[in-house]
Chains A and B, each alone.
Chain A
Amino acid sequence: MILSSMGKNGAILTAFALLTTGAVTLVQQFTAPKIAIQEKKQLQGLLHQVLPESAYDNELYLDCTQISSQELGPQPSYTVYRARQQGEVVALVMQSTAPNGYSGNIELLSAIYPDGTVAGVRVTKHNETPGLGDKIEAKRSEWINSFSTQQVRSQDDRRWAVKKDGGTFDQFTGATITPRAVVGAVKNTVLYAQRNFNTLAQAENSCNPGES
């Protein structure tokens, strides 16, 4: 009696598991291409924000390489996108981390030309204090755009610091640590990109598996 009811209950549970999984699978099949397109659009949108579309003619988001370096930050791997014009690499779009924010890591995406000029920077993730440090977001303040067209000349380029430290970048009222961290991290990223430009440009493409 118990055995038969257990068997029956088991069968019913299995049937429901199959039905619900089936339903989820169906919807997943149907939405997968849409989601892929959305994610691509999102990535492209972000890349366009740091590097103007006119600067290159390849599919930027499909041309990248993974690297890992202490200089860029503590993450195990960073993606570098390569913008090309007629096959020649004209700019790198690099992920990096500012490890010394007021409350933890600040993740960045910076576009860099080979001569050390920055095309644009965006903060992709941070935990800074609302109202003070969060002005590094493009949504909240124009500050992040002050990097555009700035050039790093050398390791000890004095202009690459906040005004309080004698540089050219504004700090925020009541918050110096956050902008200082971002300026330092962008500077390091630019220097890294300059030093390793050719290696990064020639590294194998890891963003376009199967298609080329």
Chain B
Amino acid sequence: MNLNMMSSPYKHSHKSLTSVMMLVTLAAVPGILAQCYFFGAGVLIQLALALVCVTLFEAGVLYLRGRKIWHTLQDGSAWLTGLLLAVSIPPLAPWWVIVIGTFFAIVFVKQLYGGLGGNLFNPAMAGYVLLLVSFPVQMTSWLPPAELMHHQVGLLDELSMIFSNYSQSGYSLEQLRSNVDGITMATPLDTLRTDVSHGLTVAESMTKPVFTETAGLGWQWVNAAYLLGGLFLLQQRVINWHIPVAMLAALSLCASIGYIFDSGNQPGLAFHLLSGATMLGAFFIATDPVSASTTNRGRLIYGAAIGVIVYLIRSFGGYPDAVAFAVLLMNMAVPLIDHYTQPRTYGYGAKS
């Protein structure tokens, strides 16, 4: 589809929606590869499953709505939604998790609001939150990085885990997530939170094996890879700098203040920036052109607010990571932000 991206002052950017979506997908490749390297190829299986599901659901709804199916599918937005959702969920989550998530994202969040451009919320994140709230056990069962795992799993094992809950050699996910002492390991964000609530200081918690590097083994490299992809998107001018910079700056500021005043219970700056979904969120999720703010000042406010909310929920909220919640909360505020940040029309004086 050759729908030109229009945003005042209506300067033509010579980019079609399809090519934009292609570039975003390309930029996500390093991050996905890093996830494969550290957490196994499960993410590829989830990705394949997600792409099949979004195609079917999108085509189904388009058929019901009497729209041109192939024409609309080609814009690639549904596939991008599937991609973002697939990399957000634990790689060995059972198959029905991604099916339910993509169904909700495509049918409810996107198409019921009128399809691409009409959706108020970011479809992938709404799907993610639905899954997190509904299936907290499956959605928090991340595998530890491959080198910490007691039992190694191959691609076939992962396939069999996703579709039957047991690996080929009969291990359950719970067993795979255990270390040598039979104790399940959680993500760095999760571990830190649990330990701090248990009375350990951050420094004590950080001595655990998941933290052998600055922000948790594996996770920091995944984040770095998404940062790389994000910079590529910036260079290609697919996204504006305002949202990611504002979000990362706000998160950094909050994290630094927290660390200065309460270093016993607050992890530092690097940890916040390089763990969880920070980079994926800053460059790939918060920048979704449909559900984000459309004015430059608005983008700064929108991004900064996401950064602050991420910090607040990570530190004081009920869930270990918060990018999805922060993005959805700010999606709701977008009409208001846009209303108050309309740029001055060229040729008219500023309001006195």
Contacts and interface: CB of A to CB of B under 8 A. Distances in A.
Direct contact of A and B (CB under 8 A): yes
A164 interface: yes
Contacts of A100: 197
A131 B136 contact: yes
A102 B184 CA distance: 18
A163 B140 CA distance: 19
Nearest to B319: A129
B137 interface: yes
A176 interface: yes
Interface of B: 134-137, 140-141, 174, 183-184, 194, 197-198, 318
> Which 10 A-B residue pairs are closest in the complex by CB-CB distance?
A174-B137, A132-B136, A174-B140, A131-B136, A173-B137, A177-B197, A103-B318, A164-B183, A176-B194, A177-B194
A129 B198 contact: no
B187 to A, nearest CB: 11
Given A174-B136, A177-B194, A180-B198, 15 more contacts: A100-B197, A102-B318, A103-B318, A129-B318, A131-B134, A131-B135, A131-B136, A131-B137, A132-B137, A173-B137, A173-B141, A173-B174, A174-B140, A174-B141, A177-B197
B115 to A, nearest CB: 32
A102 B141 CA distance: 18
A174 B183 CA distance: 12
Interface in A148-188: 163-164, 173-174, 176-177, 180
B296 to A, nearest CB: 38
Contacts of B197: 100, 102, 177
B139 to A, nearest CB: 9
A100 B194 CA distance: 11
Contacts of B140: 174
Interface string A100-143: 10110000000000000000000000000101100000000000
Contacts of A131: 134-137
Contacts of B184: 164, 173
Instruction: Give the interface centre of A100, A131, A163 by most chain B CB atoms within 10 Å.
Output: A131
23 contacts: A100-B197, A102-B318, A103-B318, A129-B136, A129-B318, A131-B134, A131-B135, A131-B136, A131-B137, A132-B136, A132-B137, A163-B183, A164-B183, A164-B184, A173-B141, A173-B174, A174-B136, A174-B137, A174-B140, A174-B141, A176-B194, A177-B198, A180-B198
Contacts of A163: 183
Nearest to B140: A174
A176 B184 CA distance: 10
B181 to A, nearest CB: 9
Nearest to B174: A173
